[in-house]
Amino acid sequence: MSAVHRALKKHFGFDKFRSQQQEDAVKAVLKGDRDVFVLMPTGAGKSLCYQLPALLASGITLVISPLIALIQDQVEHLKALNVPAHSINSKLPSAERRQILADLESESPRLKLLYITPEMVASPSFQPCLSSLCARGLLAYLAVDEAHCVSQWGHDFRPDYLKLGDLRSRLQGVPCVALTATAPKRVQEDIERSLKLRSPLVFAIPVFRKNLKYDVIFRDLLPDPYVHLLAFAKEALGGNTAEKGCGIVYCRTRESCEEVAHKLTKLGIPAKPYHAGLKVGDRNESQTDWMADKVPVIVATISFGMGVDKANVRFVVHWNLAKSLASYYQESGRAGRDGLPSSCRIYYSPKDRDQLNFLIRKEIARKQEKRGSEKEKDKSPILDFEAMVAFCEQEGCRHATISQFFGNQKPNCAGACDFCRDPRLVRAQLARAAALSTR
Ligand code: ADP
Ligand code: MG
Ligand code: ZN
C-alpha cells in the first residue's frame, strides 16, 4: 500500500479513492509544483483533494470558503477525525482567536488547515498573521473552495472572491488548488484568470453519461402531444419488466403540471402533480408516493428534485424548456443514476421559447431597475438560455453540445442521441418546424 493510501485510511478511514480523478488530484497537489483545478460534481469528494495533501505536507493550508456555515461544517467534521483544523472568523470568541493566532506565531504551529472567508483574508486584522506565515515559508497550499464564486458569470458571484487575485500575488510560490462543481466553460475561464492559475493541471469528472439518451421533439408538429408523451413514457418504463422504474415530467406552470398529470393518468399511466400551488399535504403525498414507486410518474415544476436522489428514474421529460443548458443538464441528469439506460427528452416549442425568453429578460430588467444600473453579468442568463435554445435547434450531437458547453472533449455518443442515431430525422423535423413558422 502506498503512503497516500495509508494516509487516506489513517486520517479519513477510507479504503480507496472515490475516483481515479480524486486520486490523481491528490497526487498532483502533493507534488506541489503546479496549480491544480478540480471540477467534480457535488458529492464527488473534492475536499479530500486538498485535505489529504494538507495533512501530508509540512506547513499550513489556507482554505478559502464562501460561508461561515460551510466552514463550520467542514471544521467540525475534521475535528471529529482528529485533524488539526480551525477557522478564524468574525463569530469566533476572542480568547479562542488569540489561541489560534498564538499557535500560528509559534515556531512550528500544530494547525494543518486554516479555514477563512475571503472577507477575512482581506481584513486588516488578519494581515500581520498572513504576512508572518508567508515570510516564514509556512504556507503549504492555498485552497479555494467553491471557486465559481469568483465568476461574474456564475450563479453565485461574490465580489470578495475577486480579492483572491491579490492574495495570490502576495503568496508567491504557494501552489493554489481551486475547486468547484462542474461549471460552464465561461465560468472555468474566469476562475483561471481571476485566481491567476498558471497552466493548472485540471482534474475533472467528465459530464458525458453514456446511459442517457437525449432527443428533442417539436411539440407543435404533433397531432396529439399527450398521446406522444404516453408512448414515450410507456417505452421508457419498459412495460412488462419486473424492475420498477419511474419518470419525471417537468413543466413551467402549475396549470400544465395539473393538465399533463391528468392526461397521462386518463390515458393509462398514473401520474401526480407536484407544485407550489398544492396544499403541503398533497404535495408531500405526490412525492412520497413517487419515491415509494406507488405512482410511476411525477409531473412537477423545477422546485422538485433538489435533494431527491432516486436511482431508477428511467426518463426525464421537459414539457417546457429549461432556463439554461446548465440547468437542463442538472435536471435531465436525475435520470439513470443507477447506470441503466434512460431517456431524456425535450418537447420543444418556439412559442414556449419566446415566452421563456420574455420572462428571462423581464427578470433582468426588474433587477436592473431595483439596482439602478446595468452590469456585465446581466447578460449571463441570456447567454445561458441561448445555449439551451441552440441545443434544441441545431443539427448536431446533443451529447457533444453538452460536453463542450462544460469545456469537455466531444464524447463518443455512439447513437445515444437522436442526431447521431439518424440525422435525417432531425433535419426533417427542423424543416417541418421552419415551414410551420412561416405559414
Ligand atoms: P464535494 O465537495 O465534491 O461536494 P465532499 O468533499 O463534501 O464533496 O465529500 C462528499 C462526501 O464524500 C463526504 O461525506 C466525504 O467524506 C465522502 N468521501 C470523500 N472521499 C471519499 C472516499 N475516497 N471514499 C469514501 N467517501 C469519500
Ligand atoms: Mg465541497
Ligand atoms: Zn450524439
Q: Residue 34 corresponds to which amino acid?
A: R
Do residues 85 and 60 lie in contact, with contact meaning Cβ atoms separated by under 8 Å? no
- How many angstroms does the Cα of residue 105 sit away from the middle of ligand 2? 29
> What is the model's pLDDT at position 239?
64
List the one residue out of 200, 208, 209, 210 whose CA is nearest residue 180. 200
Region at 104 (left for phi over 0; alpha for psi -120 to 50; beta for the rest): alpha
- How many angstroms does the Cα of residue 177 sit away from the middle of ligand 3? 34
| Ligand showing the shortest atom-to-Cα distance for residue 210 | 3
> What is the model's pLDDT at position 240?
55
List the one residue out of 90, 94, 155, 144 whose CA is nearest residue 119. 90
Question: Which stretches of the chain score pLDDT less than 50?
Answer: none
Question: Which residues' Cβ are closer than 6 Å to ligand 1?
Answer: 14, 17-18, 40, 42-48
Polymer length in residues for the chain: 439
Sheet of 297-300, strands arranged across: 212-218, 342-348, 313-318, 246-250, 297-300, 271-274
- How many angstroms does the Cα of residue 146 sit away from the middle of ligand 2? 7
> What is the model's pLDDT at position 19?
97
| CA-nearest residue, atom 5 of ligand 1 | 45
> What is the model's pLDDT at position 157?
87
- How many angstroms does the Cα of residue 215 sit away from the middle of ligand 3? 9
What is the best residue among 4, 9, 12, 15 to mutate for testing ligand 1's pocket, by most ligand atoms within 8 Å of CB? 12
**pTM for this model (two decimals):** 0.88
Q: Residue 52 corresponds to which amino acid?
A: L
Q: Residue 273 corresponds to which amino acid?
A: P
Do residues 160 and 119 lie in contact, with contact meaning Cβ atoms separated by under 8 Å? yes
List the shell of residues around ion ligand 2, using CB closer than 5 Å: 46
Question: Any residues with CB less than 8 A from the CB of 235 and at least 6 apart, and which?
Answer: none
> What is the model's pLDDT at position 439?
64
d(CA 32, CA 34): 6
